[in-house]
Structure 1
Amino acid sequence: MDIRIEKTERAIRNAFLELRAAKPLEKITVKELCSLACINKSTFYSHYEDIYALSQMLESETITTVIKNISSQQESPFKDPDVFTRNLYMALVSNHSLINILFSGTEKSHLGDCLETELKRLIVEKYPQYETDPEKDIMLSFCIQGCFHAYLNNQKNDLDTLIHVSETIVRKLAPLYIEERREHE
């Protein structure tokens, strides 16, 4: 990529994140972003359709990073649910600042929904039987959304306690998961 394009892209992203940290997404204008990034509107529009497209792209990149962080922590990230839970928290913590900026205000629960969708997709790739089992689907939703909202609502509490309590809950659900896995391996 041309160095000028990279520089412009970085300026747009940095300006957006600075504005997004200070105000809701719907209050950010292209005009103020361009002023802060020291670019003109046509330059912005040559990169993005609108502010929402920029936000969506940054959100997608953040979700991809979280998923990669989870996957990189163990060879088979969905093999042990309690270890997976710990890795999910660690991935969220390692992207804490960006998550709090991009997914604040009305966008807060959007991250949980995106994580659930992407994690379920990956789990179904590994365990196709989950796709047609409503009980497993509900269990996955409960675990993913539960962990995500516990993380969001307890960021001021001790992380080790949050992880320990969540692992304990997931461990109690593990027999359902392990039983299903054994049947299909």
Structure 2
Amino acid sequence: MDLRIEKTERGIKNAFIELRSRKPLEKITVKELCESARINKSTFYAHYKDIYDLSDAMEEEVVQSIANSIQHPEYLLEHPAEFARELLMAYVSQNSLTAILFSGSQANHFADSIERSIKQMIFEKYPELKEDTAMNVMLSYCIQGSYHAYQKNRSGDIMTVIDVIAGMTGAIRPMYEERLGENRS
């Protein structure tokens, strides 16, 4: 990517994060973002179609960053407690940015996006599970449940929060093994 384009992108994103940290997404205008980033509207529109497009792109970057930091997505089935620890540490590493980007009306988008991304990785390895309703419920429960438990309790001792969530997630392993056995027979 051209250095000027990269610098412009970074300026747009930094201005957006700064504005987003102070106000809801719906209240941010392209005009004020351009003023903050010190660019013309035409420059903004050369990169994004509107504020929502920018927000979606940044949200997707964060989700991909978290998903890419998970070395073994299959651990959700094979070693769920270890998977939960890895996922929760990825949340911790992106905590400030996710708190800004996924606040207000965007709050539930994060957990849904993470779930979609992780399930996609798991279904690549275990395609037979994609249509398994019970397995999808268990995966949703572990992914969404761990995220929401983390969010509600992150003001406490974070390692205790992670250990408790990992332990609870690990407890579902026998159910996974049963479903995996049924899918293989």
Amino acid at match of 2:150: Y
- Residue matched to 2:45: 45
Structure 1 residue 170, shift from structure 2 partner: 1.5
- Residue matched to 1:166: 165
Equivalent-residue separation in structure 2 for 1:93 and 1:148 (angstroms): 11
Equivalent-residue separation in structure 1 for 2:44 and 2:162 (angstroms): 41
| Preserved contact between residue 28 and residue 51 of structure 1 (Cα < 8 Å) | yes
- Provide the aligned length of Structure 1 versus Structure 2: 183
Equivalent-residue separation in structure 2 for 1:167 and 1:7 (angstroms): 40
Amino acid at match of 1:137: N
| Preserved contact between residue 30 and residue 41 of structure 2 (Cα < 8 Å) | yes
Equivalent-residue separation in structure 1 for 2:73 and 2:32 (angstroms): 45
Structure 1 residue 118, shift from structure 2 partner: 1.1
- Residue matched to 1:103: 102
Report whether the alignment pairs 1:25 with 2:51.
Answer: no
| Preserved contact between residue 88 and residue 162 of structure 2 (Cα < 8 Å) | yes
The equivalences for 1:67-86 within 5 A come to 67-71=67-71, 74=72, 76-78=74-76, 79-86=78-85
- Residue matched to 1:125: 124
Alpha-carbon RMSD across the aligned residues, in angstroms, is 1.6
Report whether the alignment pairs 1:136 with 2:165.
Answer: no
Structure 1 residue 178, shift from structure 2 partner: 2.4
Residue aligned with 1:22, SS: coil
- Residue matched to 1:13: 13
Identity level (%) = 49
Q: TM-score, normalised by structure 2?
A: 0.93
Equivalent-residue separation in structure 1 for 2:102 and 2:89 (angstroms): 17
- Residue matched to 1:112: 111
Equivalent-residue separation in structure 2 for 1:70 and 1:51 (angstroms): 29
Structure 1 residue 28, shift from structure 2 partner: 0.4
Equivalent-residue separation in structure 1 for 2:23 and 2:169 (angstroms): 36
Residue aligned with 2:130, SS: helix
Equivalent-residue separation in structure 2 for 1:3 and 1:139 (angstroms): 45
| Preserved contact between residue 70 and residue 77 of structure 1 (Cα < 8 Å) | no
Equivalent-residue separation in structure 2 for 1:182 and 1:161 (angstroms): 33
Alignment gaps of 5+ in structure 2: none
Equivalent-residue separation in structure 1 for 2:108 and 2:15 (angstroms): 24
Structure 1 residue 106, shift from structure 2 partner: 1.3
- Residue matched to 2:89: 90
